[in-house]
Amino acid sequence: MSDNIVYTLPTISTSPARPQKPPVDEKSLVHKQFLRGPFWQRIPAYADVPEATFLDHKWQSKNTITNVQKLMATLQGLVSPEFVADAEMGFKRAPMSVRVSPYLLSLINWDDPYRDPLRRQFITLGSRLLPDHPKLGLDSLGEQADSPVPGLTHRYVDKALFLPLDTCPVYCRFCTRSYAVGVDTDEVEKVQLHVNEERWKQAFAYIESRPELEDIVISGGDAYNLRPGQLTQIGHAVLDIPHVRRMRFATKGPAVMPQKILSDDAWVDALTEVVERGRKIHKEVVLHTHFNHPNEITGITEDAMNRLMERGIVVRNQSVLQRGVNDDVDTMKLLVKRLGHLNIHPYYVYMHDLVKGVEDLRTTLQTAIDLEKHIRGSTAGFNTPTFVCDAPGGGGKRDVHSYEYYDRVTGISVFMAPSVKPGRYFLYFDPIDALPRRGRDLWANPAEHQKMIDKALDRARAKRR
C-alpha cells in the first residue's frame, strides 16, 4: 500500500489589515528632478549667454568645439595647466577627433573633471589611456565585411544598417565606427562615407532587391546631421520599398544637443512627416537615441522629448556600458528610470565594443550580468533594457547571459549566433586590467594568447556535444 500524502493549504487570514509599503517621500524620486536654469553660465565663456541664445541649435552648432586649442580656451580658469597638457596628449593619441557642444561642455563638473562621467566619454586624457587589448581591431564588429555596397551593412536576415553620412553633432571617444566617423586623426585614416546620392541609390537598390529585408536602421555618423530634405528623401525612399516594414533613425543628438528638437522646426517637421506617412501605410518609423548617464538628461531634454511625444514619435534608447560612467547599480537604475519618465524606452545596454584608444572605458561581461540582475524588477518590463554583447567579428547582438563559455580569469567569453552566422563561434574579451592577477600574467605572455583562446573554444564546443 502506498503512503497517504496529505496536502495542507495555507491559512487565509480574515483580518481586514492589508500589507502596505511604507510611503515614499516625493523628494526621493530623483529621476523626476531635472537640471534647469542657466547652468551653462558656470562656464566663463558662456557667462553672458542668455537662455534664448543657448536654446538655439544654430548657436550650439556654430560654437561646437572642434579642436583642442578652442576647447582649452573655453575652459580657461576652470582647469589646471596639468589637465590641459593631459588633454592635449590624449587627443594626440585618440582615434576620434574632438567635437563637443556647448551644452555638453556645460554639464561636466569642472571641479572634478578627472572623475566626471561625461568628460570620460568625450574628452580624452593621456594619463588615463590603457594599452589596447591585443585582440582588438579597428572595425571590431566586422561591419565592412558584411557590406554588399558602400555604407550598407546586411548582417541579420531581415535587417540592414544604412550609413548615409559620416559626421555627428559630437564625437564620442568610444565610437564603434571610429574607422569612418569624423576626420582623419594622427592614429586613424578614415574610410570615406560622405553624403553621396549615388552611393545612397546603390543602398536603396540593394534593399529593394532583397525581399527579406523588413527593418532598416538609418545611422551614420548621425541622422541628426541630415538636412531636412535629406531626411525626407531617405525616409520616403525606404518607405517606398514594399517589403520594408520598420525604419529607425539613429541619433546621439537628443543627448548632446536637444536644442535642435526645440528650435529646428524644419528638421522636426521632416521627421514627423516621415513618421506620419509610415503610420498611414502601416509601417513603423521611430527614433533611436543614445543616453549613457542620467546627468545627460536635463530640463531642456524634457522639453525636447515632450515635443516629440506630442508629435506621436516613439523614442527608444541604446546605452553603452562604460567604466566610471554607468557601471554601478545606482547610476544605471537612475538612468533607466529617468528615461522612462520622459517616455524614452530603454532598449539595449551594450557591452563596450573593442574600440581603439578607450580600454579605460570597457568593463567585464560579469559587470553587465550583475547589473541586469539588479535593474530587472526596478521598473516595468518594457522599460527594462536588455544587456547585450555585440559579438566581435560580426556575430551580432547576444544577450550577455547567453554565452557558451565564460572564463573569468582570462576574461574570454564565447558566443554563438545560430540565426546570424550558424556554426561559428565569436569571442569577447574583458579588459585585461580588470582581470585577476593570474589572468593579467597570462595576457602579459604572447605565447599564452592562442592557448587561452583554444581552451575557451574547446570548452564551448564541449558544451554543445
CB 291 within 8 A of CB 317: yes
Q: What is the pLDDT of residue 139?
A: 62
Mean pLDDT, rounded, for 353-359: 90
Angstrom distance (rounded) from CA 197 to CA 206: 14
**Chain position carrying cell 579597428:** 138
pLDDT category at 193 given cuts 50, 70, 90 is: low
Angstrom distance (rounded) from CA 219 to CA 211: 21
Give burial (CB, 10 Å; 0-12/13-18/19+) of 257: buried
CB 286 within 8 A of CB 313: yes
pLDDT category at 189 given cuts 50, 70, 90 is: very low
CB 338 within 8 A of CB 74: no
Q: What is the pLDDT of residue 444?
A: 98
Closest by CA to 163, choosing from 206, 123, 130, is: 206
Mean pLDDT, rounded, for 362-385: 95
Starting at the earlier edge strand, list the strands of the sheet with 246-250.
Answer: 152-153, 159-162, 215-218, 246-250, 284-289, 315-320, 344-350, 386-391, 396-399
Range in 104-118, 144-158, 227-241 with the lowest mean pLDDT: 144-158
pLDDT above 70 as % of the chain: 91
Closest by CA to 253, choosing from 310, 296, 286, is: 296
pLDDT above 90 as % of the chain: 75
What are the φ and ψ backbone dihedral angles of 217, each rounded to 5 degrees? -100, 125
Can you point out the beta strands (E) in 191-335? 215-218, 246-250, 284-289, 315-320
Model pLDDT for residues 55-73, shown as the tens digit of each residue: 999 999 999 998 888 888 8
Angstrom distance (rounded) from CA 176 to CA 392: 11
Can you point out the beta strands (E) in 134-230? 152-153, 159-162, 215-218
Mean pLDDT, rounded, for 429-444: 98
Q: What is the pLDDT of residue 8?
A: 67
The sign of the CA dihedral 171, 175, 177, 183 is positive
Amino acid making up residue 1: M
Domains located in the chain, CATH noted: 30-128 (no CATH), 144-401 (3.20.20.70), 403-465 (no CATH)
Model pLDDT for residues 77-113, shown as the tens digit of each residue: 899 999 989 998 988 887 777 889 999 999 999 999 9
pLDDT category at 16 given cuts 50, 70, 90 is: low
Q: What is the pLDDT of residue 184?
A: 43
Cell of 153: 551593412
Alpha helix stretches (DSSP H) within 63-146: 68-74, 81-93, 102-107, 117-122
Closest by CA to 243, choosing from 272, 279, 214, is: 214
Averaged pLDDT of the chain: 91
Amino acid making up residue 255: A
Cell of 84: 590641459
Q: What is the pLDDT of residue 394?
A: 86
Is pTM beyond 0.85? Reply is: yes
pLDDT category at 178 given cuts 50, 70, 90 is: low
Q: Is the pLDDT of residue 120 over 60?
A: yes
Give burial (CB, 10 Å; 0-12/13-18/19+) of 60: buried
Q: Is the pLDDT of residue 181 over 90?
A: no
Task: Name the most confidently modeled range: 4-13, 19-28, 170-179, 291-300.
Answer: 291-300
Q: Is the pLDDT of residue 33 over 60?
A: yes
